[in-house]
Structure 1
Amino acid sequence: MTDEKPPSDWTVLSSMPIAVMTVVAVVDVAAGPGVGFLPLVSLGPAFSGLVGGWRRTAVIGLVALVLCVSLGLYDGLFEERRGYTAMASVAGVTGVGIAAAVMRSRREGELASVRSIAEVAQQVLLRPVPLTAGPLQAAVSYTSAVAEARIGGDLYEVVASPHGVRVIVGDVQGKGLAAVETAAVVLGAFREAAHDEPDLVGLGERLERSVARELEGEKFVTAILAEIGAGHEAVFLNYGHPAPMVVHRGGTVHFPKPPAYALPLGLGAHGSDGPKPYQVDFGPGEQLLLYTDGVTEARDEDGRFYPLGERAHLLKDPDARRALEALRADLAQHAGGPPHDDAAMLLLRYHGHGNGKSVPIT
């Protein structure tokens, strides 16, 4: 096995103008003037205009013109109109190629500016989670399905409030800018209410009211809220979201499900009861993974879903960020390509008893 890498698509496209002109020149010399290959020299600047800048296109056009004149003289085509027609063809295509390259360069600049603005907006919306919050260590991973725009509809936040560490992970219906706008509404309401509301149910009701005011039609947000207080337990509210994964000391895995399923945020006006809070044990040395369905619904080439529970052993790294990165890399390998849905993961580790002592992950 060699270490050589195959050439990229861009390298192949960049070398195509010279390759095309070389082939045309060889074939023209071999076939003679009677076949009429000479005008095909204009393919060089034509391809260059598609992939290169205007300066490179102009240089390729000049080379093509020199080649056209040389072959025309060799074939004796300037004794008739065919040689001048070929030159006019090369010059015309070169001009069009330069214009196309200039327009493409401007569009690429505008697109890069839009992407930069979108990325900054996403970073402002999804701020980095604190590395520690109370007795917890936190790490986050986010992969957008709209990779080119680096923008998506999954959301997460960790807030150290007077009532405990409060967490949200959610998934907005849809993608793109509309989903980001909805995510901003949810996160804004959560960040404010997390400090004010004394219990998790009140926090959830406040989120429901905020989302119901802003969303129109059948739009909704699946979400799970968690609260980790002084006791060794976590309290959850589940709004139609995938169950969290608790990794206990020793490596056993538990997916605690709600006593009854509730509608996502934004659909509370349909008259159903809100979610009921439920508790699970969560103490020193244990891990809690909150995620969106882009993780568990990722399929491999045989159509099999990602077996998250079977991959819990990947979270053994002492560094939470490296552990989550290992899980993310395994998810990407399972999917074997770009994600079809946004995928967010938030890992929380209960690392101490509140006395500053760290408990290792086993």
Structure 2
Amino acid sequence: MSVTVDEAPASWVRDSGVWAGMSIVLLVAMLDRVSLVALTGGFGIGALVTAMMSTARRTAGVAAFALAATLGVGALSEGYGAAEFAVRGLTCLVLGVLAVVSAETRERREARLRRLTVIADAAQRAVLRASPERIGTMGFAVRYVSASEEAGIGGDLYEIAATPFGVRVIVGDVRGKGLPAVQTAASVLGAFRQAALSAPDPATLARRVDDVISRLIDDEEFVTAVFAEFREDGTVALANCGHHPPLLLDADGARVLDTGEPTPPLGLMPDPELAVHPWRPGSRMLLYTDGLVEARDEAGEFFGLDAGTPVLTDRPLPAALDGLVERLRAHVGGRVADDVALVLAEDRTRVGVAHAGR
């Protein structure tokens, strides 16, 4: 059994696990000393508590303190025979060793999890490449909010591509989490990048992406996705595969766009309709995953898109998404329960003075 040498002595003082363990040892010693209760193995409880909260090295320190305490109290107490004295010491020693082994096992497991998290995070960063801030007259901002505190691991995806047909965007959500979801997301984006340059419209593009990933994923897997094509003729064409429709913000206000009859997600043979809407100069469009609109507060209320409308219209694109994320976190009490991918697009044919700094 190996114990890692790690912390400076001063850090022991700030360790709540050490304090909790030593407090329990002292409490047991007081109870045992005044003969209020017979706790033959009670001294070892302190080391077990420390093992759940601190390192193996610090657990060993508390275990040694507990052994010294049980032997000291036993030596001072009258009425303990040699056999009971030995049982007390042996019991505390065994519990201390078990506590150290438990703490070391937990440390190794957590270290392995951290390594896997770093690998998954690197994989996802490779999948979700840096997005352009501007393509022609189109401006963009993207954000990825992970439900994992350690890393952005999940199956939400987005991509922006300049094509002969216009600027095309995909936003989607893979069913599942972790490395398998990242792998599926990579397959979707790879198929999108290849087909986006030749498919004549977003509906055909969606079907071509589905043809590719249907051969790569299991029968129970699927990917919801929405495809958008911003055209030079002042329109935006949409194809929706089981995803939440985008939010359009223009001179007429904010509204969720009609994307036609519902169709299955990618991987389930979707046949989406092509929905075409006006795309006026200065308009903005938010494409998002379900982690945004399905986020709940403590009362169970969903996060409504209308709650984010003001910040999406009166700020530069990056600041607008930052403001939306802030409102989302405030709604859920600080931590989101599901990953969120956001793409905010803007037609910059005529950029107003208020937004000249974008």
Whether TM exceeds 0.5 here: the answer is: yes
CA RMSD of aligned residues (A): 2.6
- Which of 293, 310, 314 matches 2:311? 314
1:145 shift after superposition: 4.3
Q: Would you say the 8 A contact 1:249–1:361 is kept in 2?
A: no
Q: How does 1:77-226 map to 2 (within 5 A)?
A: 79-145=81-147, 147=149, 150-226=152-228
- Which of 30, 33, 36 matches 1:26? 30
User: Against the structure 1 CA distance between its residues 202 and 38, is the aligned structure 2 distance closer, same or farther, given a 3 Å change threshold?
Assistant: closer
Mean CA deviation greater in 233-242 or 171-180: 171-180
1:112-144 Cα offsets, whole Å, 9 max, x none, are 111111111111112232222222222222234
User: Against the structure 1 CA distance between its residues 260 and 39, is the aligned structure 2 distance closer, same or farther, given a 3 Å change threshold?
Assistant: closer
Q: Would you say the 8 A contact 2:161–2:193 is kept in 1?
A: yes
Q: Would you say the 8 A contact 1:226–1:234 is kept in 2?
A: yes
SS at match of 1:84: helix
Q: Would you say the 8 A contact 2:127–2:186 is kept in 1?
A: yes
1:79 shift after superposition: 4.8
How many residues were matched structurally? Answer: 343
CA distance in 2, matches of 1:69, 1:17: 17
Q: Please, what TM-score do these two structures have when normalized by structure 2?
A: 0.86
Pair 1:298 & 2:299 matched: no
SS at match of 2:315: coil
CA distance in 1, matches of 2:341, 2:199: 26
CA distance in 2, matches of 1:216, 1:28: 61
| One-letter amino acid matched to 1:188 | G
Q: Would you say the 8 A contact 1:38–1:72 is kept in 2?
A: no
Tell me which residue corresponds to 2:38.
Answer: 36
Tell me which residue corresponds to 1:54.
Answer: 56
1:288 shift after superposition: 0.7
Q: Would you say the 8 A contact 1:54–1:102 is kept in 2?
A: yes
1:188 shift after superposition: 0.4
| One-letter amino acid matched to 1:323 | A
User: Against the structure 1 CA distance between its residues 315 and 35, is the aligned structure 2 distance closer, same or farther, given a 3 Å change threshold?
Assistant: same
Q: Would you say the 8 A contact 1:318–1:361 is kept in 2?
A: yes
Q: Would you say the 8 A contact 2:120–2:178 is kept in 1?
A: no
- % of aligned pairs identical? 35
| One-letter amino acid matched to 1:291 | Y
Q: Would you say the 8 A contact 1:289–1:345 is kept in 2?
A: yes
CA distance in 2, matches of 1:126, 1:81: 67
SS at match of 2:197: helix
Q: Would you say the 8 A contact 2:143–2:343 is kept in 1?
A: yes
Q: How does 1:10-21 map to 2 (within 5 A)?
A: 12-21=16-25
List alignment gaps of at least 5 residues for structure 2.
1-13
Q: Would you say the 8 A contact 1:352–1:358 is kept in 2?
A: no
Pair 1:263 & 2:264 matched: yes
Q: Would you say the 8 A contact 2:21–2:62 is kept in 1?
A: yes
SS at match of 2:277: strand
Q: Please, what TM-score do these two structures have when normalized by structure 1?
A: 0.85
1:95 shift after superposition: 1.6
SS at match of 2:28: helix
List alignment gaps of at least 5 residues for structure 1.
1-9
User: Against the structure 1 CA distance between its residues 249 and 277, is the aligned structure 2 distance closer, same or farther, given a 3 Å change threshold?
Assistant: same
User: Against the structure 1 CA distance between its residues 61 and 201, is the aligned structure 2 distance closer, same or farther, given a 3 Å change threshold?
Assistant: closer
CA distance in 2, matches of 1:225, 1:15: 56
CA distance in 2, matches of 1:318, 1:298: 23
Tell me which residue corresponds to 2:344.
Answer: 347
- Which of 323, 326, 332 matches 1:326? 323
